[in-house]
Amino acid sequence: MPRAAFGAEFDGADGYLNSPTVGLPPGFVVDAVRGHVDAWQQGAVYAPDFDADVEAGRAGYAALVGVPASAVAIGGSVSALLALVAAAVPDGARVVTFAGEFTSVSFPFAAHAARGVTVTELAPGELERRAGEFDVVAVSLVQSASGNVLDSTVLRANVGDAMTVIDVTQALGWCDVDLSWADVTVGGAYKWLLAPRGMAWMSLRDSVIDRVVPLAANWYAGENPWATVYGLPLRLAADARRYDASPSWASAIGAGAALPWLAGLDRAAVHAHSVGLANRLRAELALEPVESAIVSIPVAGATDVADVSAQLQRAGIRAAVRAGAVRVGFHLYNTDDDLDRLLQALQS
C-alpha cells in the first residue's frame, strides 16, 4: 500500500533507505511523467509547453537554496554544469576539496591540471579552517559516502576571497539550509529531490556570472529560446539562463512537479524528521549524533559488508554499500517502522 507522508503518497517506501542513491517519487510526480509518456505515444506533445515545467523546477531549486530564479541555470548533470565553472578558473588556480569527495565535484577541476590548476584534498575541519589559503573551495554540503556535513559557519569565517562551490545533491530536499552566500551551488534531481534523473541546477552569484563563459551555448540558452533556434548573431539570456542546456522533457516534467512541492513544505519539519530517525539509529549503534540524514554503518571487513548487505536485502531493507560501509538515508517518507526493521536485521 502507498505510504502517506507530508501530504503525498509514496509507493515502495516500506523499508526503503536508499534515498542517497535514488529517491522515491511522490505519486503526483509519477502521474505527471506518465501523462507525458501517454501524450508522446499519442502524438500530442507540443514542445513549448515544457518551458513551464522547466521554470517551475528552476523556481523550486532557487527557493530551496535561497536565491532568485534568475540566478539559476539548468543542465543534465552536476559535472556538466561544474565543467563551466572549472573552465573559468584562472591558470594556476589552487582548488581545495574534501578527501574522498564525490568525483563529480573534484574531477571537473582536476581535468585542468595542464593549465596548472591544482586540487588539494583536506580532511573535514582542516578544510574549513584553511579555506582562505586557496582560490576555489569545491565541496559537497553533505558527503555522499559518510553523511558528514560541511561546517559552513567555519568555512564562511575563513574563506576570504576564495570562490565557494557547493554541491547540494546529498542535502537539498531534506536539509533546511540557506546557501544564498555561496558563489556557486549545484545539485542533481534524482536523489533527495525526488525527480527523474536527467535534470540538474546551478546557481551563480553575479560576480561569478561575469567570469564564466557559456561554453555549451545552445538555442535554449537564449533570452527567448524559441526565437534563437536559427542563425546568428549570438543572442544569449542576460542572466544565468545563458548557461541552460536543452532540457530532457520527461525529467523536466518530474522536476517541475517535485521541486515546487518540496519548496512549499515546512522544511524545518522535514529536516527534523529525517535527521531524527538517523540520529536514533546512531544512538542504537553507539555512533556520535550528526545533523545528517545519511548514516554510514561501519562493518568489520569487505566480506562482512557483502554479508550485511545481503542480510538487509532479505529483511526487505533497501540500502547501499559505499566506501566499505553500509549506507542508509532517511527521507520524509521513512518512519520508525523502517528504522525498527533495520535494527532488527542488524542485530540478527
pTM: 0.96
CA–CA separation, 310 and 187 (whole Å)? 31
**Neighbour tally for 226: CB within 10 Å:** 11
Where does residue 149 rank: exposed (0-12), middle (13-18), buried (19+ CB within 10 A)?
Answer: buried
Q: Does domain 3-16+266-347 have CATH number 3.90.1150.10?
A: yes
Q: Which amino acid is at 128?
A: E
Per-residue buried b or exposed e for 227-265, using 16+ beta carbons within 10 Å of the residue's own CB: ebeeeeeebbbebbbbbbbebbbbbbbbbbbbbbbbbeb
Give the pLDDT score at 303: 67
Give the pLDDT score at 89: 98
- Stretch (H or E) spanning 65: helix 50-65
CA–CA separation, 243 and 74 (whole Å)? 7
Q: Do 150 and 115 form a contact (C-beta atoms < 8 A)?
A: no
Q: Which CATH class is domain 47-264?
A: alpha beta
CA–CA separation, 105 and 98 (whole Å)? 10
Task: For residue 206, report the phi and psi dihedrals to the nearest 5 degrees.
Answer: -55, -40
- Cβ partners under 8 Å of residue 287, min gap 6: 281, 295
Strand ranges for 84-179 from DSSP E: 94-98, 118-122, 136-140, 163-167
Give the pLDDT score at 38: 98
Phi-psi region of 122 (alpha: psi -120 to 50; beta: other; left: phi over 0): beta
* 295-334 confidence digits (pLDDT tens): 999 887 656 877 888 889 999 999 998 888 899 999 999 9
Residues of the chain with pLDDT under 70: 301-303
Give the pLDDT score at 288: 94
Give the pLDDT score at 35: 98
Proportion of the chain in helix, strand, coil states, percent, rounded to 5: 40, 15, 40
DSSP state of 114: G
Phi-psi region of 81 (alpha: psi -120 to 50; beta: other; left: phi over 0): alpha
Give the pLDDT score at 302: 59
CA–CA separation, 308 and 312 (whole Å)? 6
Give the pLDDT score at 78: 98
Give the pLDDT score at 347: 84
Q: Which amino acid is at 196?
A: P
CA–CA separation, 47 and 224 (whole Å)? 14
Instruction: Give the start-to-end residue ranges of the domains of the chain.
Output: 3-16+266-347, 47-264
DSSP state letters, 265-279: S-HHHHHHHHHHHHH
Q: Do 243 and 202 form a contact (C-beta atoms < 8 A)?
A: yes
- Stretch (H or E) spanning 251: helix 249-264
Give the pLDDT score at 1: 83
Give the pLDDT score at 30: 98
Q: Do 15 and 318 form a contact (C-beta atoms < 8 A)?
A: yes
Name the nearest CA neighbour of 194 among 264, 256, 276. Answer: 256
Give the pLDDT score at 308: 82
Q: Which three cell numbers stand for residue 251?
A: 525529467
